[in-house]
Structure 1
Amino acid sequence: MGLKGKMTVEKEIKCHGDVFHDLFRHKPHHLANITPDHIQGCDLHEAEFGTLGSVTLWKYTDEGKEKYMKVVIEAIDEEKKLVKFKAVEGDVLQIYKEYTATIHVDTNGDDHLVTWTIAYEKLSEDSPDPISLLNIAIKSTNEIEAHHVK
């Protein structure tokens, strides 16, 4: 059994992809108000929100437990509406040696598709795949969509 893995989910959204991308790139601290059951906070620690190399501390709930993850923005592609976060500290690194989450939004006219990709390397064969974290991404996407399509 391999220790490295990648999980991807695509979700069509009714709100505009630019709104979704802007929220994760420039305004992640607003997510606690939109998805309070899943994300309780996003505090800036270094640089400015939405800049390459910026560091944020995310507080979230995973399987009923409050957790945290400090991440650095590792990649930004404005044309592709892509932001890639790499975990550098937190609960997730007690299970995974490496953990990245990439959010990419495809916009084609009135069609908007959010793609979440989680890449990881387990610390051991017994470590679970990050399905619960992917579920948080899906549920948060649904709540963001509902918030912006009123």
Structure 2
Amino acid sequence: MGLTGKLTAQIEYKYWRRCFHEVFRYMPHEVSMSPELIQGCDLLEGDLGGVGSIIYWKYTHDGTETVAKEIVDAIAEEKEGDMMELYKKFEPTFHVDAHGDVDLVTWTFEYEKLHDDVEEPLSLLGLCINLTRHIELHHLNKKP
């Protein structure tokens, strides 16, 4: 099996699609609304939503407390942290699109494993799917 890979998942999103994007860009602290998944995030440098900003995430992955340093690049995000113990390159991205009357959140992981023994990041993709559902439910419950 190769060391490089790409995983993609699409999830239907029933709340205003811009909201999902705006939560991650301008209000990442609100992602902590799911404390069993995300325990917190701290802005280390720059402005929220700005290119060059650095955010330090604390989250639980497969029952283990994990950290990641996110550096916001022009469009994509580059991550550092616990994932770098397994992957030479790990670049998660997401976008939200309308497909007819349905909004879809698409998560994509492009990665290069350090060696063949490293598993594909399927459980981390599952965490992102769960997080998407938590954010949606949080906003649907607040809907007037």
Indicate whether the TM-score tops 0.5. Answer: yes
Name the SS of the counterpart of 2:73 in structure 1.
strand
Q: Alpha carbons of 1:97 and 1:69: their partners in 2 closer, same or farther (altered >3 Å)? A: same
What is the TM-score of this pair, normalised by structure 2? Answer: 0.93
**In structure 2, C-alpha distance between the alignment counterparts of 1:11 and 1:148, rounded to whole Å:** 16
Q: Does 1:54 align with 2:53?
A: yes
Matches within 5 A, 1:70-149: 70-76=69-75, 84-88=76-80, 90-107=81-98, 110-149=101-140
Q: 1:4 to 1:72 in 2, by over 3 A?
A: same
The percentage of aligned residue pairs carrying the same residue is 45
Tell me the secondary structure at the aligned position of residue 74 of structure 2.
strand
**How does the TM-score come out when normalised to structure 1?**
0.89
1:47 deviates by 0.6
Give ranges in structure 2 of 5+ residues lacking alignment.
Answer: none
What SS does structure 2 have at the residue aligned with 1:36?
coil
Partner SS, residue 105 of structure 1:
strand
Amino acid at match of 1:5: G
Match of 1:68 in 2: 67
1:13-59 Cα shifts (integer Å, max 9, x gaps): 10111111100111111111x21111111111111111112111110
**Given residue 140 of structure 2, which amino acid in structure 1 is its aligned partner?**
V
- CA separation in 2, counterparts of 1:75 and 1:114? 20
Shift of 1:108: 5.5
Q: How does 1:16-31 map to 2 (within 5 A)?
A: 16-31=16-31
The residue identity in structure 2 corresponding to 1:23 is V
Distance 1:144 1:110 in 2: 20
- CA gap of 1:75–1:117, structure 2 versus 1, over 3 A, is farther
5+ long unaligned stretches in structure 1: 77-83
Q: CA deviation at 1:109?
A: 6.9
Per-residue CA deviation, residues 102-131 of structure 1 (Å, 9 max, x unaligned), is 010013575211000011110001011111
